[in-house]
Chain A
Amino acid sequence: MLLKKLLGKHILLMIGGVALLTAVWIVAYFCVGNDLLLPSFGETVKDFFLLWIDGAFWSALGVTLLRVLSAFVLSFALAVLTAVLSYLYPSFRAFFAPILAVLRSMPVLAVLLIILVWTNDGVAPVIVAFLSLYPILYTQTLTAICGVDNKLLQMSKAYRVPMSVQITKLYIPTVAPALIKACGLALGFGVKLTVSAEVLARSKHSLGVLMQDARGFDLPQLFALVIVACVLGFVIEYAFVCVAERMQRGKK
């Protein structure tokens, strides 16, 4: 009942999906027949749970999450600022468009190699994540702000509602659900991107470097760490989406 409440009425289908993935893994394991190419599902699950009682894992997880959060906060703050400017000043939006296009199309993981030269392995993943998250958050924020109902804005103008009240009572509540959803998606994506960048940059004390280390001798642990990253991204994204959907409905 609680699971159904948390995950929605399609819980059985979702469990079915996970079961299918597991079945595919088990079949593939027996077909491949080489533990160094594909570890067993059982060993991986065991390692997954063992990770959570390992202090080094928690330390690495904390550092990685701190990187994700830093990149997110920076990109969110700049995204909101530039989106508001673009909304208020079409000339700014036009001026900013080519810069945004470059950021959007940049192959950030390749750019990581350049960034590593200028900075270090601790900061580079943050910058890479920032460069990826910022265009997404900017676009989502601007779309959300432009999505404020023009009719409500007109009504506000007719009643001479002060701008501060419009911002707090109209703009923010309208924009919040979409923005929160976008934040969830961005954070989920940020986890994946940051871990990938940490693997490439070999950032010390991180999930990425744990994965690099596991690659040598412990494939089940490597798979378990990948599952951790996936679960983390999913949980963060889902939590934000749930909050956003609750906000979208007025209370009865």
Chain B
Amino acid sequence: MKLCITKRYREKCVFDGFALEIPDGEVTCILGASGVGKTTLLHCLAGLTPFEGEIDGKTENVGFVFQEPRLLPFLTVEENLTYVGANEDEIRTALETLEISAYAKRYPDTLSGGEQQRVALARAIVKKPPLLLLDEPFSSLDLPLKLRLLSAFKTLYQSYTPTVVFVTHDIDEALSIGQRIVVLKDGKAVYSARVTPCTYGENTTEKQSVLQAITQ
């Protein structure tokens, strides 16, 4: 997937002819300081915000995992997945993949934050969208829960290998799941490299390079 976009918010120009290539079927992690435009990039990919330029690739069918679960509180877990157009078989498969079949008839307010985010993940992949967008989905979770959900994410990625754009400010998180790391700064990609996913928190040379790119 190739994109070249310009995005302005009133007087502020977030992206000016920003070009990026996202490999199909791979996990691309986007890193950068707050306000650099990571979420804006995802919103452009999802069609949630207008922009100038073009995106060459399939963006009609996306799965989007937000920072909050964003589940409809008056629908059960099952009904939340039906809401995005999934049928019974797709729902059963998605719940099994995330190991949350037992939650099917429960309402979101009876689930913990981590459980709700699992349901959000299930919703994102239930229709097996070719493009999966995640916007800091685990930022509000504690470390043990984060690790469990990162593991769940790996499982669902391996279930059908979609193109994934994963936005995070956590370098360890990015390096544990990403196959490509992009660091954004001032509307540009100041660092872009292929990496091999490692154990969460492992101190690698790639980590040093990314840190350097962020802090420069």
> Do A and B interact directly, with beta carbons closer than 8 Å?
yes
Complex CA gap A67/B108 in Å reads 43
Chain A proximity mask over B29-68: 1 for CB below 8 Å, otherwise 0: 0000000000000000011100000000000111110101
Interface residue A154 (Cβ < 8 Å from any Cβ of B): yes
Q: Is A152 an interface residue (CB 8 A)?
A: yes
* Residues of A with C-beta under 8 A to B64: 155, 158-159
Would you give 16 A-B contacts (Cβ < 8 Å), ordered by A? A151-B68, A152-B70, A152-B72, A154-B70, A157-B47, A158-B62, A158-B133, A159-B84, A160-B61, A161-B83, A169-B72, A247-B74, A250-B75, A250-B107, A250-B109, A251-B107
User: Which residue of chain A has its CB nearest to the CB of B86?
Assistant: A159
Report the count of interface residues on B (CB-CB < 8 A): 26
CB distance from A41 to the nearest CB of B (A): 46
B83–A169 contact, CB under 8 A? yes
Query: Among the listed A151, A160, A251, A252, which residue makes an inter-chain contact with B70, where contact means beta carbons less than 8 Å apart?
Result: A151
A131 interface contact, C-beta 8 A: no
Output the residue of B48, B68, B74, B85 with the most chain A CB within 10 A.
B74
CB distance from A152 to the nearest CB of B (A): 6
A224-252, CB < 8 A from B = 247, 250-252
Q: Indicate whether A165 reaches chain B with its CB closer than 8 angstroms.
A: yes
Say how far A244's CB is from chain B's closest CB, in angstroms.
Answer: 13
Residues of B bordering A, CB below 8 Å: 46-48, 60-64, 66, 68, 70, 72-76, 79, 83-85, 107-110, 123, 133
**A15 smallest CB distance to B (angstroms):** 33
Please give 5 more A-B residue pairs, beta carbons under 8 A apart, in addition to A158-B47, A252-B110.
A157-B46, A158-B62, A159-B83, A165-B83, A173-B74
Interface size range on A against B: 10 to 19
Task: Enumerate chain A interface residues (CB-CB to B < 8 A).
Answer: 151-152, 154-161, 165, 169-170, 173-174, 247, 250-252
Q: Which residues of B contact A165 (CB under 8 A)?
A: 83, 85
Q: Is the CB of B84 within 8 A of A250?
A: no
Q: Contact between B73 and A250 (Cβ–Cβ < 8 Å)?
A: yes
Closest to B83 in A: A169
Asked if residues A151 and B60 are in contact (CB atoms below 8 Å), the reply is no
The answer to whether B107 touches A252 (Cβ under 8 A) is yes
Interface-centre pick from A250, A251, A252 (highest chain B CB count, 10 A): A250
Which of A154, A158, A160, A165 has the largest number of chain B CB atoms within 10 A? Answer: A158
- Report the nearest B residue to A170, measured CB to CB: B72
With both beta carbons as reference points, the residue of chain A lying nearest to B61 in the complex is identified as A160
